A and B are shown apart, each in its own frame.
Chain A
Amino acid sequence: MLWGVPRDAPLPGRRGGRVNALIRHTMCALIPSGGALPGVAECGVDAWIVRFRAETSVMMWIGVVAGSVLFVLTPVWTLGLPVPSLWLGPERLDAHASRLGASSIYPLRQLVLLVKMMACLCWGVDPRVRAVFALAPYPPDPGTWRS
């Protein structure tokens, strides 16, 4: 395991795997499970990140990576704890997420919001999530075009 990601997960190399793991950690902190709702961790987030990395724009990818790195590095600012967020227990991680997301610093707030938006794109298509809200499962996105 590497930061909670199986080593045999379809990751694009060790360095890429670590970056993906940072994003996964941040997304899971922002969108945890609760009540009847699964968290993004239960919604295939690992495969989703691999796919997102392959398909998204450079700007979007840079933004998500930057937001995740900031998230990991800033418990010292939000909680006064000089450790990466990877080391925080569930309650402190949740407090870190809430405080960082409500930051008065605009770029910081926007980067965290961007990661949350992307996590919601993964989370909101999961059939179990949609069933909770009486929404029909989505058909697959074909990704095709007229030739």
Chain B
Amino acid sequence: MALVSHLAFSETDVEADADVIVVGSGAGGASIAVHLARAGVRVLVIEAGAWRAGSDLPSSAYGSMRDLLDNWASNLTMGRAGWPIVQARTVGGTTVINSAICVRTPADVFARWQAETGVGGGLADRVWAHQDALERELSVQEVPAGAFGRSNTLATEAATALGWHDHAMRRYVAGCAGSGQCIQGCRALRKQSVDVVFLPEVRARSGVVWSNAPVDRVVFERGRAVGVRGRFRDPTGRRGGRFVARAPRVVVAASATHGPALLRRSGLRGAVGTGFRAHPGSGVIGLYDDPVDMNTGATQGWASMVMRDTPGLKLETLALPLDMLASRFPGFGAAWVRQIAQYRYAAHWVHAVRAESVGRVWSGPFGQPVVWYGLDKADMVRMRDGVYAVARLHVAAGARAVMPGVAGVPGVIDRDSVGILADGPLDPRAYTGILSHLFGGAPMGADPRASACGEDGAVHGVEGLFVADASMIPSNLGVNPQHTIMALARCVGDGILARA
């Protein structure tokens, strides 16, 4: 093991050994790493992105895309519509750029896993126990009233008017200042992202973090994973030395896209790359008579699960920065200028579809993940219902008009005409959608022919290789996934400790 606890780059070749190698430093990777480190395991965390903390974090959306998002968020789904796949490439992973929303894994999810994949005997209790601990460690609390802001308040009023059950979000935030900078990374360090909380602890417990170190392959010897290899590459594209890390156990926690792509590059087949799922979503802008100033207050503070089961939607507020949201205002040229002039009067709320459509992940010619994914008709109906539901919320909150961002319907719809969205198009190309919550690609299950790993994360048929992130989740959750990912990763860690 190297003497330094963080190696950001090396011009020369590097070799190291550890008890466990964790590929990826996001919600899953950092959670299992700190769990193992606390048990005295020598952990080496290897992250493709750079470590940007506090004063390194960008302010603008441009800076966020350049410094934090994977490939400038230009990874698109292959299918009928090319929707951006939003995930981070930085130490801390997507926990650096998300809104730190904490939702416990619903019981129905475990019941479904057990029925469909044969996993889950006692898993729910273990996951929930870890979620108890995580909530204490990460200072989970409701968005304080002082950080709520007018956009979240309007959503609360709308839900009350409609009789929809709603709640203030619980988040991994210690004393939110309401700076509205979640997406650019919290410069105030209030958000308890794993780069702020877990990875420093890993280093303090004799663990090591390598950043700017994309892994090319998992290394196998006699059918057993024994390490990884790759080559340092810094954010400017400068190539450094090659690295080889060896350990008797390798944990892949590189996201639901990069993880399966890495495993396939490493020669694994079978169910690896299958079962990719997501929460596709889109946003609707409401225009109000009085200024909303949505960037004042928590980026996300309000949610409703009232449609989680039927039709399968989650509703949330989402205040995006001006430079990111401006292009969502309809029109081009002078027509766009007339619309963006109303920015202060706008609130942006979103829906996420609990989609049942399933895709695949491949490794592209340059090693990048290629995601084949499209929504079937039932999911497109949900997508349309989601746009309509958010538009109804805006109207209930007093919006005078909405901007649905749906091609084929007017860019601005007055409050009395939002009903036309109920009959909106079912073509995915008409929607300005994104994929934010990603699942599967190396799904867990009891049947090795239909799954990539067991519920302990152990990859079927390969000794010493584990999956511990969203890629092992075999179904859609219908809730924000970070809490589930972290707890599942710790369950995988429990299994590794039990085998040691």
Contact = CB atoms under 8 A, between A and B. Distances in A.
A63 B74 contact: yes
Contacts of B65: 121
A37 B81 contact: no
Nearest to A124: B323
20 contacts: A34-B341, A35-B337, A37-B341, A57-B71, A57-B72, A102-B332, A112-B332, A122-B62, A125-B60, A125-B323, A129-B322, A133-B343, A141-B63, A143-B58, A143-B67, A144-B52, A144-B55, A145-B8, A145-B67, A145-B212
B332 A101 contact: yes
B334 interface: yes
B239 interface: no
Interface stretch (A1-9, A10-18, A25-33): A25-33
Nearest to B63: A141
Nearest to A139: B59
A50 to B, nearest CB: 14
Contacts of A129: 322
B62 to A, nearest CB: 4
A79 to B, nearest CB: 13
A47 interface: no
Given A57-B72, A117-B327, A125-B323, A145 B332 contact: no
A31 B324 CA distance: 14
Interface in A99-125: 100-102, 104, 106, 109-110, 112-113, 116-117, 119-125
B344 interface: yes
Interface residues of A, number: 54
B334 A32 contact: yes
Given A57-B71, A60-B72, A116-B327, 18 more contacts: A36-B341, A57-B72, A94-B333, A102-B332, A102-B407, A112-B332, A116-B332, A119-B327, A120-B326, A124-B326, A130-B322, A141-B63, A141-B66, A142-B55, A145-B67, A145-B234, A146-B52, A146-B91
Nearest to B70: A57
Contacts of B51: 145-146
Interface string B41-55: 000000000111101
B336 A106 contact: no
Contacts of A93: 333
A106 B80 CA distance: 10
A124 B320 CA distance: 12
